[in-house]
Structure 1
C-alpha cells in the first residue's frame, strides 16, 4: 500500500474569519507567548550551563552528569511528533492546560532529587513536559494577530523567545546558584512554570473541531523514530566525553538507532495514511531545506560549544561570562525585530546571504584568539553570530510552513518533524562534532608544543629559570621551585593548545560558512539566469505562436 500521489492531496481547510481582539487582551496573549517560550528555553539552558556545578551537588563526575543533558534532549526531540496528533484529537485548549499542569508537576518533582539517578529521571520528565511549550509559545502569539502578521511578526518573536532562553540562563545562573546550588535553579523554573500556568488558564486558546487523528501504527512509527533519535542524541552527547572508540556500546547504539529509523521509514512508506510523508520529505525542495537547516544548526554550534568552553579552559568563571551572554541575548532579539519590516517569502535568500556573511565574519574574528583573549574582546563577533541566527531561522521556518500548508494539514506534521530533527538532533550532533574536533586538535597541538619545549632548548631553560627565580622568594627550596616552574610551563602549553584547537574550529566554521555562501550565490545566480532566459524567450520576435502561419 503506498501513499496517495501529491495531486490527490486534500485541499487545506479554509481558515475561520479573523476576529480582532482588544489591545490589552492581545498584548496579554503576546506576553504569554514570550513567557512560555522563555520558560522552556531557560530550563534547558540551566542544565547545559551548570553541568560541572550540578555534578558537584550530586556527588557525581562531570562525565556522569552529562547524562542529564541527554535525558532532557531525548523526549524534547521526540515528543512533538506525537503531540500534534494529541492536540488534534483532544482539542487545543485541553492540550494547553494539561501540558502546562504536567510541566508544573515536573518542576515540583525536581525538589525531590537526591542523587544522580533521580536527577536523570527528573530531567527525562522535564524534557517530556517542556516539549509542548514551544508549540504553545507559537500558538499564543498567533492567536491575536491578523493573518498578514502571523508569520511576519509572530514567527520571529516566538522563535526569538525560544532561542534566547539558553543564553539568558547563562546570564542569570551565577546569581541563582550562589550559595544554594541547584536549589535556586529549581525555584526559578517552578516560578516560571507557575506564571505560565496562570497565563494559560486566564487566556484560553480557541480550539478547532476535534478529529480522530491517532492510528495504532502512528504509535509504532513514533516509538521507532523516538528510539532512533534518542540513540543518536546519546551518541553525540556522550561520544566526545567517553571518546568514540573507547566504549564499544556507542557503536552498537548508533547502529541500532539507524536500524530503528530504517524500520520507521519502511513502515511509513507502506501506509495509506502515514504519520509522515517520506516521499515528500525526500523531494528536491524539502531535501534542500533539510540540508540548509541542518548545516546552519551545525555552524551555530560555534556559539554554544565554542566560546563558552574555550573561556572555561582559560579559567574564566560563569560570572565573568554574564556580560557576553547579555550581549548575545540582546543581539538575538534585535535580529528577530529586524526581520519584521522586511520578512516575505521571496526575500528568504537575501536574509540567508546576510546571515552567512555575519557568521563567516564573526568566526574569522574569533579564529585569532590567544591566551589573553577575554569575553569583552569577543562581544562583537558573538553578537554578529547571534544576530545571524535570528535572521536565518525565522525565514527558513516560514518557507517550510508555507510549503507544508499549501499541500494540506497532513503535511504540517512532516515539516515539524524535519524542523525538530534538524534543530534538536542537529544541535546535539553539532556540539558533539565540535567537541570531538577540539579534543583531536588539542591533543595534536599539545604534542607539537611538548616537542618544541625540549628541556635542552636554551629558551625553554631560560623561561624555567625565570619562573623559578620569581617563586624562590616564596619557596626557598630550589628543586621545588624548579618543579613548580616546569608545571606552570606545562599548564601554559596545555592552555595554548586548547586556544589553537578552538582557533582551528573557528576557522573551519568560517570556511563552511563561506562555502555555503558561495553555494547560495550560485543558486541565486542560476535562478536569475533561468528567469532572464524565460523572459527573453517569451519576448523574442523569433518566437512563433502555435496559431501563426508557417
Structure 2
C-alpha cells in the first residue's frame, strides 16, 4: 500500500514513472490536469451567483433555473465512471484533447443561449466533456510523477477540486457585473487554448484501442443516462407537476427504475461494469460513499442556496454574492499545504469526524436567518464550512482508495467522485423542491394568522392605505405591500428549512465516520484514477 501509483495507470497504457524526479514536461502535464479539473469544477457553480440575471434574460423561473446547475452535474456523474474506458479507447492525450475542444464549443453555446432549452443542452454538453477532466487529473499524477512527488500533485488536485465550486460564483459574479453573464462561459475559450497546449507538450501520445468499444458495459452506460437523468427530472419537476398526480412523473419514474435495473444487470454480465457497485459490500467503502454523497449535497447545495438568498432577500448583486461564497475557499487554501503532513500523522477518523462536525454546525447556525440577514451573517459559517469541507473531501478520497485492494483503487476513486456529484445533483433538486413547497406552506400559514378582524392588522392596512394616497387604489396597494412582506418572510423561512435539511442529513451520516478504516502507518497520499 505504500506505492502511490494506481494499477489503473497500467490499464490506460501509461507506464509508471521510473525517474526519481519528474522533468519539466511531466509537471506541464500535471499542470494541464490541474487546470482541467479546476475548470471542470469551477463551471459547476460559475452560474450560481448570476442565475437571477440569466433566468430573467432567458425566461426561466427560479425553480427552472436549478436545471442550469443540475444538468451539468448529472452529465458529469455519467461520464466520470466512463473515463478509464475512454482513456483506453482513445489514449489519454487524444481523449483529453477531444474533450477540451468539445467543452469549448459547448461553453460558447451556453454563452450564446437565448432560451432555457438551449442553455440546458449546452450545460449537459459541458458536463459530459468537463467530467472527463476530473479523474484524468489523478491519472496524470499517477503516471507522470514518481511516488515521492505524488503527494504534491495530489494536494494540488485537491485544491482545484475544492476551490472550483467556491471560486465559481466569484468569477461568474465579477464577469456578470463588469461585462455580462455571457462571459462566464466565454472565459473558457482562452483557458481551453492554454490547456490544449499543455496537454500536447506534457503528455505522451498514446495508442487507440478501438477494440475496447466492444467490451463496454453498454447496459450500464444507458442505464446511468436513464436512471440518473430520470430521478433528477422527477425531483425537479415533481412539485410543479403535483408529483404522482401527473402521468409525466409516473412515466419518468418508470424510466428511472428501468435505468437502475439496467445498471444492476450490467453488474453481472459486463466484463467490466461501468460502476463497480460490489464495492459497496465493503463496509468501510460504503461509509465513504454515503459521506461523500451528503458532502456533495452540502458543497453544491450551499453554493447554490446562499447566492439565491442574498439576491432575493439582501438584494446583493452577483459579485457581492460570489464574494460570500468564496469565503469557504480561504480555509482550503490555508490547509492544503498541510495535507501531506496531516494524512501521515493524524488518524483519518479524527480529521473526517472534525470536518463533519464543522459542516453540521455551519448549516445549523444558518437556520436562524431573518429578513434582515446580510452577507456578514454568513462569514463565520462559510469559514467553518470551508474548513469542514477540506477535512472531509481530501481525507475521504484517500479513505476510498485505501479501503479497497490496489486493483480496485481506480474503481473506488471513480465511485467516490460519482457519489459526490450525485449528492450534489440530487441535493440541488431536493433543496429547490423543498424551498418551493415550504415557501408556499409558510406563506399561507402566516396569512392564516393575520385575521381580517384583527384590530392591529386593520390599523396597519389603514395607515399604509393612507400612505399610498387613500381610496380603493391605496387600499389595494396596502394589501399588495402586506402580501409582499408575507412572501418575503415565508421565503426566508423556506431558506432556513433548506439549511435545516442539510443539517439533518449530515447528522444522520455522522456515525458512519466510526466505520472508516484507519490509514496504514506511514501512509502517503495516493493518486488513483
TM-score by structure 1 length? 0.81
The structural deviation recorded for 1:158 is 1.3
Kept after mapping to 2: 8 A contact 1:302/1:506: no
Q: In the alignment, what sits opposite 2:435?
A: 438
Structure 2 vs 1, CA of residues 37 and 243 (structure 1 numbering), >3 Å: closer, same or farther? farther
Partner residue of 2:493 out of 500, 516, 527? 500
Q: In the alignment, what sits opposite 1:17?
A: 18
Over the aligned positions, Cα root-mean-square deviation in angstroms equals 3.4
Structure 2 vs 1, CA of residues 33 and 278 (structure 1 numbering), >3 Å: closer, same or farther? closer
The structural deviation recorded for 1:445 is 2.4
Structure 2 vs 1, CA of residues 309 and 129 (structure 1 numbering), >3 Å: closer, same or farther? same
The structural deviation recorded for 1:85 is 0.9
In structure 1, distance between residues paired with 2:164 and 2:388: 17
In structure 1, distance between residues paired with 2:231 and 2:280: 20
Moved more, 91-100 or 509-518: 509-518
Residues 1:102 and 2:118 aligned together:
no
| 1:17-416 pair list within 5 angstroms | 17-22=18-23, 28-61=28-61, 66-110=66-110, 113-142=113-142, 145-150=145-150, 152-178=151-177, 181-204=180-203, 213-240=212-239, 244-245=243-244, 247-271=246-270, 273-300=272-299, 302-314=301-313, 315-344=315-344, 347-404=347-404, 406-408=405-407, 411-416=408-413
Kept after mapping to 2: 8 A contact 1:467/1:485: yes
Considering only CA atoms, is the larger Rg found in Structure 1 or Structure 2? 1
In structure 1, distance between residues paired with 2:230 and 2:175: 33
The structural deviation recorded for 1:358 is 0.8
Structure 2 vs 1, CA of residues 514 and 402 (structure 1 numbering), >3 Å: closer, same or farther? closer
In structure 1, distance between residues paired with 2:310 and 2:93: 45
In structure 2, distance between residues paired with 1:259 and 1:39: 33
Q: In the alignment, what sits opposite 1:510?
A: 503
The structural deviation recorded for 1:129 is 1.7
**Helix, strand or coil at the partner of 2:131:** helix
Please list the CA deviations of residues 97-154 of structure 1 after superposition, one character each: whole Å capped at 9, or x if unmatched. 333233334345556645444433333322222121213433445566441452x443
**Structure 1 unpaired stretches of 5+:** 1-9, 528-550
Moved more, 108-117 or 351-360: 108-117
Structure 2 vs 1, CA of residues 443 and 286 (structure 1 numbering), >3 Å: closer, same or farther? same
**Helix, strand or coil at the partner of 1:341:** helix
Structure 2 vs 1, CA of residues 207 and 17 (structure 1 numbering), >3 Å: closer, same or farther? farther
**Structure 2 unpaired stretches of 5+:** 1-6, 519-529
Figure out how many residues of one structure are paired with residues of the other and give that number: 507
Kept after mapping to 2: 8 A contact 1:236/1:428: no
Q: In the alignment, what sits opposite 1:458?
A: 455
The structural deviation recorded for 1:228 is 1.6
Q: In the alignment, what sits opposite 1:480?
A: 473
Kept after mapping to 2: 8 A contact 1:464/1:482: yes
Structure number with higher relative contact order (C-alpha < 8 Å, ≥ 6 residues apart): 2
Kept after mapping to 2: 8 A contact 1:445/1:497: yes
In structure 2, distance between residues paired with 1:259 and 1:505: 30
Structure 2 vs 1, CA of residues 239 and 205 (structure 1 numbering), >3 Å: closer, same or farther? farther
In structure 1, distance between residues paired with 2:275 and 2:183: 41
Residues 1:448 and 2:449 aligned together:
no
Moved more, 199-208 or 430-439: 199-208
Structure 2 vs 1, CA of residues 156 and 505 (structure 1 numbering), >3 Å: closer, same or farther? same
The structural deviation recorded for 1:492 is 1.5
Kept after mapping to 2: 8 A contact 1:233/1:425: no
Q: In the alignment, what sits opposite 1:540?
A: none
Kept after mapping to 1: 8 A contact 2:29/2:199: no
Please list the CA deviations of residues 158-202 of structure 1 after superposition, one character each: whole Å capped at 9, or x if unmatched. 133133223222112233224864432232121221221222123
**Helix, strand or coil at the partner of 2:370:** coil
In structure 1, distance between residues paired with 2:300 and 2:106: 29
In structure 2, distance between residues paired with 1:305 and 1:243: 24
The structural deviation recorded for 1:206 is 7.8
Structure 2 vs 1, CA of residues 77 and 197 (structure 1 numbering), >3 Å: closer, same or farther? same
Kept after mapping to 1: 8 A contact 2:8/2:410: no
Kept after mapping to 1: 8 A contact 2:66/2:429: no
**Helix, strand or coil at the partner of 1:343:** helix
In structure 2, distance between residues paired with 1:296 and 1:514: 12
Structure 2 vs 1, CA of residues 383 and 239 (structure 1 numbering), >3 Å: closer, same or farther? farther
In structure 1, distance between residues paired with 2:367 and 2:61: 31
Please list the CA deviations of residues 206-239 of structure 1 after superposition, one character each: whole Å capped at 9, or x if unmatched. 8699796443452333222222222223333443
In structure 2, distance between residues paired with 1:12 and 1:21: 16
Q: In the alignment, what sits opposite 1:533?
A: none
In structure 2, distance between residues paired with 1:478 and 1:265: 68
Moved more, 234-243 or 91-100: 234-243
The structural deviation recorded for 1:390 is 1.6
In structure 2, distance between residues paired with 1:391 and 1:122: 33
In structure 1, distance between residues paired with 2:505 and 2:185: 39
In structure 2, distance between residues paired with 1:449 and 1:501: 13
**Helix, strand or coil at the partner of 2:341:** coil
Moved more, 497-506 or 370-379: 497-506
Kept after mapping to 2: 8 A contact 1:67/1:238: no
The structural deviation recorded for 1:512 is 4.0
